[in-house]
Amino acid sequence: MTNHWIDLKNSDCILIMGSNAAENHPISFKYVTMAQQSGGKVISVDPRFTRTSSKADIYAPLRSGTDIAFLGGMIKYILENKLYNEDYVVNYTNATFLLNKDFSFKDGLFSGFDSQKKSYNKSTWTFDNDEKGAPKRDLTLKDPRSVFNALKNHYSRYNLALVSRITGTSEADLLEVYKTYAATGAKGKAGTIMYAMGWTQHTVGVQNIRSMSIIQLLLANMGVAGGGVNALRGESNVQGSTDQALLWHILPGYTAMPKASQASLDVFLASIKPESKDPMSVNWKQNYPKYAVSMFKSFFGENATKENEFGYQLLPKAEDGKSYTWLDIFDEMYKGSIKGFLAWGMNPACSSTNAGKARKAMTKLDWMVNVNLFDNETGSFWKGPGMKPSSIKTEVFMLPAAVSVEKEGSISNSGRWMQWRYEGPKPLGNSKPDGDIIMELGNMLKEAYKKEGGKFPDAILKLKWDYMTNGKYDPHKIAKEINGYFLEDATVMNQQFKKGDLVPSFVFLQGDGKTSSGNWIYCGSYTNKGNMSARRGQKDVASNIGLYPEFAWAWPVNRRIIYNRASVDMTGKPNDEKRWVVKYTFDQKDGKYVPGKWEGDIPDGPAPPLSNPDGTARADGKYPFIMQKDGLGAIFGPGLVDGPFPEHYEPLECPVEKNFMSGQITNPTIPVYGTDADKVASCDPRFPYVGTTYRVSEHWQTGLMTRPQAWLLELQPQVFVEMSEELAKLKSIKNGERVKVASVRGSIECTAVVTKRFKPFKIGDSIVHEIGMPYNFGWRWPVSGKEESPNLLTPSTGDPNTRIPETKAFMVNISKIKRG
Amino acid sequence: MSKSFFVDTTVCTACRGCQVACKQWKNLPAENTVNRGTNENPADVSFNTYKVVRMREEVIDGKLKWLFFPEQCRHCVEPPCLDTAGDKSAIYKDEATGAVIYTAKTKGLNAKEIIESCPYNIPRKGKDGTLAKCDMCLDRVQNGLLPACVKTCPTGAMNFGEREEMLALANKRLGEIKKICPSAKLLDPDDVRVIYLVAYNPELYHKFAVASVFDFGITRQMALAKMFRPVKNIASGLV
């Protein structure tokens, strides 16, 4: 979230799309309800009418996988009706930048596509720079080569009739949503988006979110209370685990993963240091080298020295061009190249897309260690449906883990709040906190490498690994390490620090080895003043917008709303005077304006705004989007692998033979896997219906923690498939009967829920039916063993940027079960 | 001062936290259920289930509505079940709160008669003949806590407090909702301590959502009790 949960209450219009917040983030509805009771509108866009839709002012159905068409139509509507905030678009976004004259887009493809490699050469996705090297700008928005006009041109194709043919949403519904949401472009109005896996789990997942980011920039909704782009994380600490680099392509704090070709520290540091030639751009990411070196000092302690490149050579490097995501891990495992597997707090036998492939892949392992609260479908895969235990060699070890309430430590919620929690009951039996398990594992690895040597013992032996107190994992030691220390006495920015002091903020981090910090964005969370995340202050800011700056701690630097400098006009005056986030007051000296101060939330840097109150420009003013190289919101976003503007492509498996928008049916850069388990059936009469997956309020993820819980199983006892009355009639299916749902990859038995909440879509000139299933089930529990995971049906493909799997749109068939 | 619930169905998301919280606080066993082609489960209130969120799909004025109704004992101001039982050791009213309480001695009552006396069809008989239903979490309330279902509600659908405050809140919300939805109403606000606000015809939510005018006062015991009934609180007059 750029904003945070409580901030939802400040919104004039909440678009809930790609999420079913009422069911899957039930507490969020406390704030959604508050917004509604203050006159805000709630819009629910979903293939199925959900509990969220039941509370919305407007509901619009769309076919799964067509969100970019839907949102592209909104971009066109905003531009053509001039509903964007022109001051904001001109001054705070890159809409005014002139594009490289060789940049082009033709029939679904951007310039630079290599059809052999299925990837883009992005050399033309650049700006036309002036002699100093800064992008040329056209503040009148008239130049045909400006980003603004390229955007207008790109989405000119997304007319209502065409969008309706693709999405299946009626033109009237599209217009009502566009009109209602675009009204938040007015001065002092705020609109926000709540999205979750309904947007990410597609072959165009990242571009779905980019589409909304563009809309939010056009409507001046970034940086304001009640605005922003808000990802609702699927678990209470997913934000924290991502911050700490759960994903392969980053190190903690979103530092890029070193590549094999980056042979020295200097080469690596240069690659993570963007350069801007515009003095008005803060270009904060140019500080990354300091953060990286401080992180290496944290990893390796005294073993990281200037002479050994601060331990850079001890780090693993990713092979250039190679991907190491979940999809890739299970593909490699399936092919037999992975021998051992730690399944830690995961249940891939049910949560993996194409779970049948994942289960079969596990049979190729020599060993698996399953660290979890309970035995699950993963640890017991060898005795699951269709498995022959005597022919499976994999040795499985179960390590019982303590549940979250039995452990002390922090979680970071979707709103980036790091919140300290205390140990409740003691862990049961032999179960241990994950911290203890990983510390002991590390100690034993160190011992083994010391005794026996190995291919590269230093990577383990030189790790700083001193986070235990009296033989127990100490969460405070880890939290302090993540924050960082001064490793020597130092004077930074006129402040004196002693060796051993905790670093109060990342602005003090050094690139010469004098400081450590396990994760720069958390620097400031645990300082000499104490554990900031354990704070429980109840005081709000003066504007009463629910920031509660003394409750817990938010990264970065306790900033509650990111890019908040974009909430003020050029002179630092809030655009929304009532719900203001920050404001700037200049001082005057000798009849001149001199720097004054910001009030409210922690601003994105202390520099004054771009103009004086009399409208004259300031040389020391800074642009608001400090994490962007050019300092301005990226309407043109060349950072992704599949295009600088989002474009509608069909899902890998889709019900239409052609993409109505272009000659390119699917995203041209999507990952494809080639084993015999990676079957695809698109536009195949055997699988005529669109399938999607979701969760229910009553179960948690794959249901590991909730299916054995009798009170929850009572509420949702069985895996079900929801379908329209029309489809049920077509297939002679009765409400409540057990039916078979199949894709080309597998099939499961479900209880039919025949409902008015699904309706057939009119796509092009055809009727397309969609069905949906909750993925919260698996054979291990309930005891019948018949409630299987719908992920047995989902495909092995995903977004080309992140490789998050496409589990939200695929093709299936549904049939009655013939008994006896 | 007596207590009441105000249940604002217009903000209920049917997350069913209330249903689970009820079972958890009471430590009531789960029922063996199957999916009956609906999210709603268990199918009805029972000896072990005091609270059920009803879910109904209705097309009203051409638009689909999903109506949620967290059902429980209404704790009637003049409880017909109490009057029907005529045995204060089996069914009594807690004077301080107004909670209608069933004891183990309900085993000795004519269960059928008690159940039939309830205009909302709430009490249920256990295997040994004992009757059970919501008790307003009297143990919690007497210790200054909110009933479990209210404590767990994220949206403000479930509210609990002094009767006057709840009636005021109910009427305030009714006024707000009526502007958007003229058919909105409070269900039997003068007669019950669990006051529901619904946006549409109550019968669409559940057959027994609202009491029929003929449902009150049918038994002999009740007829006798009625002779001593105090003047009603005309709460609906506040609108």
Give residue-wise pLDDT tens across range A595-630: 999 999 999 999 999 999 999 999 999 999 999 999
How far apart, in whole angstroms, are the C-alpha atoms of residue A299 and residue A478? 11
pLDDT at B215: 54
Residue A556: asked if its preceding bond is cis (omega within 30°), the reply is yes
- Position A790 pLDDT exceeds 90: yes
Segment A409-440, tens digit of pLDDT:
999 999 999 999 999 999 999 999 999 999 99
CB spacing of A751 vs B34 below 8 angstroms: yes
3-state secondary structure of A544: coil
**Scanning every residue of chain B, which has its alpha carbon at the shortest distance from the alpha carbon of A784?**
B34
The number of beta carbons lying within 10 Å of the beta carbon of residue A222 is 26
Most A CBs within 10 A among B33, B39, B45, hence the mutation to make, goes to B39
Average pLDDT, integer, range A761-768? 98
CB spacing of B64 vs A757 below 8 angstroms: yes
CB spacing of A51 vs B14 below 8 angstroms: yes
Distance from CA of A647 to the nearest CA of B (A): 32
Most B CBs within 10 A among A42, A51, A696, A776, hence the mutation to make, goes to A51
pLDDT at B230: 44
Between B29, B41, B65, which is nearest A715 by CB?
Answer: B41
Between B19, B67, B154, which is nearest A715 by CB?
Answer: B19
CB spacing of B33 vs A697 below 8 angstroms: no
pLDDT at A819: 75
Residues of A in contact with B33 (CB under 8 A): 713-715, 717
What single-letter amino acid sits at A463?
A: L
How far apart, in whole angstroms, are the C-alpha atoms of residue B76 and residue B84? 13
Residues of B in contact with A27 (CB under 8 A): 154
Distance from CA of B129 to the nearest CA of A (A): 24
Look at residues A244, A564, A196, A296 and name the one whose alpha carbon lies nearest to residue A418. A244
pLDDT at B220: 46
How far apart, in whole angstroms, are the C-alpha atoms of residue B171 and residue B194? 14
Residue B24, chain A, CB below 8 Å: the answer is: yes
Between B15, B31, B155, which is nearest A697 by CB?
Answer: B15
Q: Report the complex ipTM.
A: 0.95
Tokens of residue A568, six digits: 């003020």
pLDDT at B229: 43
Residue B42, chain A, CB below 8 Å: the answer is: yes
**Scanning every residue of chain B, which has its alpha carbon at the shortest distance from the alpha carbon of A33?**
B155
CB spacing of B35 vs A715 below 8 angstroms: no
Contact status, residue A134 vs residue A128, Cβ threshold 8 Å? no
Tokens of residue A25, six digits: 């983030």
Residues of A in contact with B64 (CB under 8 A): 49, 59, 756-757
DSSP state, residue B199: S
pLDDT at A78: 98
What is the pLDDT tens value at each position of chain B, 239 positions in all? 699 999 999 999 999 999 999 999 999 999 999 999 999 999 999 999 999 999 999 999 999 999 999 999 999 999 999 999 999 999 999 999 999 999 999 999 999 999 999 999 999 999 999 999 999 999 999 999 999 999 999 999 999 999 999 999 999 999 999 999 999 999 999 999 999 999 999 999 999 999 865 555 455 445 444 444 444 434 443 33
What single-letter amino acid sits at A803?
A: R
Segment A131-175, tens digit of pLDDT:
999 999 999 999 999 999 999 999 999 999 999 999 999 999 999
How far apart, in whole angstroms, are the C-alpha atoms of residue A225 and residue A227? 5
Indicate the pTM of the whole model.
0.96
**Scanning every residue of chain A, which has its alpha carbon at the shortest distance from the alpha carbon of B58?**
A756
pLDDT at B1: 66
Helix A355-362 vs helix A326-334: crossing angle, to nearest 10: 50
**Scanning every residue of chain A, which has its alpha carbon at the shortest distance from the alpha carbon of B176?**
A37
Between B14, B155, B176, which is nearest A33 by CB?
Answer: B155
Segment A15-58, tens digit of pLDDT:
999 999 999 999 999 999 999 999 999 999 999 999 999 999 99
Distance from CA of B42 to the nearest CA of A (A): 7
CB spacing of A753 vs B24 below 8 angstroms: no
Segment A220-251, tens digit of pLDDT:
999 999 999 999 998 999 999 999 999 999 99
pLDDT at B236: 41
**Scanning every residue of chain B, which has its alpha carbon at the shortest distance from the alpha carbon of A774?**
B39
Contact status, residue B119 vs residue B219, Cβ threshold 8 Å? no
Look at residues A12, A49, A17, A50 and name the one whose alpha carbon lies nearest to residue A32. A12
Residues of B in contact with A54 (CB under 8 A): 13-14, 65-68
**Scanning every residue of chain A, which has its alpha carbon at the shortest distance from the alpha carbon of B28?**
A711
Between A711, A716, A737, which is nearest B23 by CB?
Answer: A711
Total number of residues shown for chain A: 820
User: Any alpha helices (H) in chain B, and if so which ranges?
Assistant: 17-26, 80-85, 111-117, 138-142, 148-152, 163-180, 220-226
pLDDT at A86: 98
Residues of B in contact with A49 (CB under 8 A): 64, 66
Which distant-in-sequence residues (6+ apart) come within 8 Å of A444 by Cβ? none
Burial-class residue A641 by CB neighbours within 10 Å (0-12, 13-18, 19+). middle
**Scanning every residue of chain A, which has its alpha carbon at the shortest distance from the alpha carbon of B12?**
A55
Between B33, B37, B155, which is nearest A735 by CB?
Answer: B37
pLDDT at A818: 82
CB spacing of A30 vs B39 below 8 angstroms: no
pLDDT at A688: 98
pLDDT at A97: 98
* CA angle (A741, A744, A748) in 5-degree steps: 30
Segment A261-286, tens digit of pLDDT:
999 999 999 999 999 999 999 999 99
CB spacing of A52 vs B13 below 8 angstroms: yes
Total number of residues shown for chain B: 239
pLDDT at B235: 42
Segment A79-95, tens digit of pLDDT:
999 999 999 999 999 99
Average pLDDT, integer, range A687-702? 97
The number of beta carbons lying within 10 Å of the beta carbon of residue A384 is 18
Distance from CA of A806 to the nearest CA of B (A): 26
Look at residues A104, A81, A87, A14 and name the one whose alpha carbon lies nearest to residue A53. A14
pLDDT at A820: 62
Contact status, residue A339 vs residue A333, Cβ threshold 8 Å? no
